[in-house]
Structure 1
Amino acid sequence: MSRVPDNVNIRDLSLPGTHESCALYEGSSAGFAHCQNRNLQWQLTAGVRFLDIRCRAIDGAFAIHHGPFYQQLMFGDVLSSCYDFLRKNPSETILMKIQQEYSEDRDEYLRIFRTYMDDKGWRSLFHISRGYPSLGEARGKVVLCSKYPWVGEGLDFDDFDVQDDYDDPTQDEKKKEIVDQLNNASDASAPRSSLYVNHVSANGGFPWGWTPWSFASRLNPFTKSVLYQAPAIRPRVGVIAMDYVDSPDGDWDTADIDGIAAVSRLNEFRRPTLEVGKSYVIWNRHTGRAMDAGTAQSNVVQWTYDGLPQQCWTLEKGYADGIYTLRSERSGGLLSCKPGQTATHQGHDYHFWQIRPASNGGFHIHQDYAGLDLHIPRGSLDNGAGLEIDANTQYDWYTWCFDERVDINQSDAPGSLDIDFRVVQRGDLTYQGVYTLTNTGSETLTSWALDVTLIEGVTLDTVKGAVAGARTAPLPGDPQQADDKGAFSRLETVTLTGDQPLTPGGSTEVLCEGRLPQPGAEPAPWHIARVS
C-alpha cells in the first residue's frame, strides 16, 4: 500500500482478506474447522490486509477458536504478529474484524477486550474511529472493526455491505452471489457510504456437507478468473475474504499469491520515482505477474511472484540520459527484445529502454532502437507466457509496475529456521520439552532467536542448550507474570537468544523444563524462530 495515495479512503480500496484467518488446525472436525494453510505472518507478508479473528472469552483472556476448536493462538499472539509486521512496514494498514466465538457471556467478552486494549497496552496499535479513515490516517495501524458483539468503539461490521452466504450454498448460487457483490462494489460511485465485503468462503456443515476446502478449491479459481477479467483501472472491489488464500488455483498448500495479487492490483497507485542502481520486481498491470528470467531458459516470461532472484531486475543507466538497461539478478544478463521475437535476458543488442510514465502508477517499457513497447501478447494470464514488443499501448498489458522485492518464501531465504517441538518427559505437574531448530536456508546464521509463548497456566522454569539466556524483554503490552521462582506465565513471550552459529542444514536443540496447571495438560507452546 506504500504507493496508494494517502487520501484514498479504506472503503474505496481493494483489500485481499482471509476468512477465519487463524483456522489452521482442524482438531477432530474432519476438515470442517480448517480454513487456512498459512499463518498470519505469511498472510500479511503476501499482501493480506483484512483479518477475521474469532475470540473465545475464557479465564480472563481471548483464545482464538473456530467453533469449539482451539487454534493454538491467543489474541495477544495475533496482536504481536500485527505489531511486528506494521513495525517493519509502517506504510501498511490492517483491517481487523474481531468477533466472539464459542462463548456466550457478552459482558465478560467486552471486559476482556478492554483489558487487552488498556491494561495490557495494545490500544496504541489500533486506529479506532466510528468513521472510515483515509489510508494516510490508518498507515501503521490496525483498523478496528467488530461484530457479535460490537465492542462499543471502532467500526461496526454490521454497517458494512457484506455477502456471506456460508451455510451450504450450491456452487452456482455462491458463484452468482460473488459476482453480484463484485458488481455492487464496482458500480458504487466513490466515495462509497460503506465498505463492501465479499466472502468467497462457505461450509457445508459436519459431517456430510462440503468442507471449507471443498468450496475453496472450486470458488478460489472462479473468483480469481473473474477478478482478472477486470481492467486494472476499474472501480474498487472492497474486501475479498478467502479460505485457503494461498491456493488460488484450487491446488493444495501452494503458497501462491495470485489470488491476492488479483485483488490488490485493482487499487490506484502512485507512480514511484525510479532510481538507477536499485533492484525492482517488475509486474504487469493487467496480469499481476512478474517479469521472470527463469531458471533454465534464456527467454523472459511472466510468472506468479515468488520473490526469487530471477524476478529481480536492476535499473542501470544507458548510453544517454533517459536511456536504461535492466539487468537480471539471476543471470547477470540484460533484458533485450527484437521485433517479432520473445524477450531474452542474454541479448547483446536491442537492450536499451526508455521507461515512460503510463496510467495508474505504471510505466511503458519502450525499446529504444525499435521504437516498440514491451507487453504480454493479448494479455495472456498464463504462467510462462513470453514477453514481446509491439506498437500498441492502449491496453493495460502494456503497463508495468516497479516495486521492491518482498520475501514470501521464508524456507528459501538465505537465513531461515525450521522448528520442531516434542515433549520428552512428563510428570503429573511437570514436563520436559525439546526444540530442534534447523537452518533450512543457504547461509550460516550467526544470530538467531526463539520466541516462546506459553499456554495458559504452563510455566517455563529452566532452559538448557544453545541459548545465551532464558529471558529478554517481553513484547509490548505483555505484563510481567513471573512468580517468585522466576517462572513465566501465559501473558509473556520469552525470547531465547542463540549463542552458537548454525550452518546450512545444521541443527541444534534447546531443552525446556516447566510446570503444568493440572495433570495431563499439554505444554503446547506457541513459538516462532527468527533470524535476529
Structure 2
Amino acid sequence: MGNWFGCCGNAQDDDYWNVTHRKIGSDNPDWMSKLQNPDRLSLAGISIPGTHDTMARTTFFQCAWCQSLSLPDQLLTGIRYLDLRCRYYRNDLLIYHGCCYQDSSLRGCLLEMKTFLRTENSRNECLLVRVKRDDDVHDGNPRLENREFCELFRLILGQVNDEENNLFWLEENIPTLDVARGKIVILRNFDRQPEDEVPLGIPYGTLRIEDNYAQNSYSQRFEYTRNHLLLAQEENNLPDLFLTHSSAVICKMCPPRESARRLNPMLYNFINEQGGRLGIIAMDYPGPGLIKRIIQNNLFS
C-alpha cells in the first residue's frame, strides 16, 4: 500500500493488524482439526476469526480497501469466515465493495477455498462463507429475478463442486464440526423463491448479528462490539450462531485501515481477558496475534 494513508501514523503493530504481507511463522492452517469433541461441537459453539468484505483489496480506490492479504493468505493465517458481496454481470457473479469491482468472481473465490480445503494440512477445516447479493446499485446491468439469481448461484456451485458433490453445506441448519469438515458452509444473504424446496444454505438473517459500524467515535463503536461478544458468552448454551463485526465508519475521511488501527488493539485486549465462545468475529486488517487470540478461545484436544 505504500504510504498512501498518511493519517495512519506509524503504529504498525502486526499483532493487531496486517499491512502488506503474511507474517512468517503466523500460519494456522489446521487449527479446527485440533478442537475437542468435533462430533458434538456445533459451529455455533466455536470462536471463529473472519474478515469483513474479504476481497476488498484490489480496487484503485484504496480508501475502499478492507484487507491487505490475499484470500489464500487469509485462509493460511486461520481466517474461517469469509464475506463475499456479489453482483451480476454477463452471466457471472463478480465481487464488489460498494461500486468498486474487486477483480474477482464468486467462482474464483470458491475455487481458491476448494484448493485450501483439499490440501493435506487443511482437509479437516471448514469455511463459513456469507454470500450477499449486492446488486441494488444501478450500474446499467439488468437486475436478475430471484429465481434467475438462484439458478446462476447453483450453476456456479456445480462448476466448483468436487466429483463426490461434497464440497458445500447447503442445508439451513447449523452442522457440527465433524459433519462440516472439508466443506464450505454457505450463509445465504439473498432471497430465494418461496416455492423452492431446495435449500441454498443457512439463512444469514437467522444469525445473531452486530454491525453498528456507523458511530461518532471509536470508543462508541467498540462498545457495540464488546457488548455483543459478552452476549455471545452469556448465552453460550443456546444454539444461535453469533456474528460480531469490528469494522467502523467514523468519518468519511477515515479509511477502514485507520479504523482497524484504532479498534483492533481494543479487540485484542478485550479478548485476552475473556474465555468461552465468542462466535464469528468479522474484522478489517486482522493481524496474526489477534487471529491467534481468537483461535485460542476454543477448547483443544
The alpha-carbon distance between structure 1 residues 260 and 228, as it changes in their structure 2 partners (threshold 3 A), is same
Question: Normalised by the size of structure 1, how large is the TM-score?
Answer: 0.45
The residue aligned with 1:243 is 284
The residue aligned with 1:66 is 97
1:193 counterpart (239, 244, 247) = 239
2:226 counterpart (172, 179, 184) = 179
Give the secondary-structure state (helix, strand or coil) at the position aligned to 2:209: strand
Q: Partners of 1:216 and 1:106 in 2: how far apart?
A: 37
Unaligned runs of 5+ in 2: 1-31, 137-142, 194-198
Q: Deviations over 1:156-195 (max 9, x none)?
A: 11111111012344212211111101110111132x2311
Q: Partners of 1:106 and 1:195 in 2: how far apart?
A: 29
Match runs of 1:211-226 below 5 Å: 211-226=255-270
The alpha-carbon distance between structure 1 residues 92 and 120, as it changes in their structure 2 partners (threshold 3 A), is closer
Q: Partners of 2:96 and 2:52 in 1: how far apart?
A: 13
1:34 lines up with 2:65 in the alignment: yes
Q: Partners of 1:189 and 1:68 in 2: how far apart?
A: 38
Q: Which fold has the larger relative contact order, with Cα–Cα distance below 8 Å and residues 6 or more apart in sequence?
A: 2
> Offset at 1:26?
3.5
1:81 lines up with 2:109 in the alignment: no
Contact 2:214 2:221 in 1 (8 A): no
Contact 1:187 1:235 in 2 (8 A): no
1:18 counterpart (51, 56, 69) = 51
Q: Which amino acid aligns with 1:137?
A: V
Q: Partners of 1:67 and 1:138 in 2: how far apart?
A: 31
The residue aligned with 1:136 is 178
1:92 counterpart (125, 129, 144) = 125
User: 4+ residue stretches of structure 1 with deviation over 6 A?
Assistant: none
Q: Which amino acid aligns with 2:176?
A: S
The alpha-carbon distance between structure 1 residues 61 and 160, as it changes in their structure 2 partners (threshold 3 A), is same
The alpha-carbon distance between structure 1 residues 150 and 25, as it changes in their structure 2 partners (threshold 3 A), is farther
Match runs of 1:94-493 below 5 Å: 94-103=127-136, 104-107=143-146, 108-118=148-158, 121=161, 124-149=166-191, 152-190=199-237, 192-204=238-250, 208-230=252-274, 234-246=275-287, 257-270=288-301
Give the secondary-structure state (helix, strand or coil) at the position aligned to 1:37: coil
Q: Which amino acid aligns with 2:266?
A: F
Contact 2:59 2:103 in 1 (8 A): no
Q: Deviations over 1:71-129 (max 9, x none)?
A: 11111210111111100111100011100123543423222102112366466321121
Contact 1:203 1:209 in 2 (8 A): no
Q: Partners of 2:87 and 2:171 in 1: how far apart?
A: 24
Q: Partners of 2:292 and 2:249 in 1: how far apart?
A: 25
Q: Which amino acid aligns with 2:169?
A: H
Give the secondary-structure state (helix, strand or coil) at the position aligned to 2:95: strand
Q: Partners of 1:161 and 1:24 in 2: how far apart?
A: 27
Q: Deviations over 1:215-274 (max 9, x none)?
A: 1111111101101112xxx2210001100123xxxxxxxxxx10101101011111xxxx
> What is the percent sequence identity of the aligned residues?
27
Q: Which amino acid aligns with 2:244?
A: N
Question: Normalised by the size of structure 2, how large is the TM-score?
Answer: 0.79
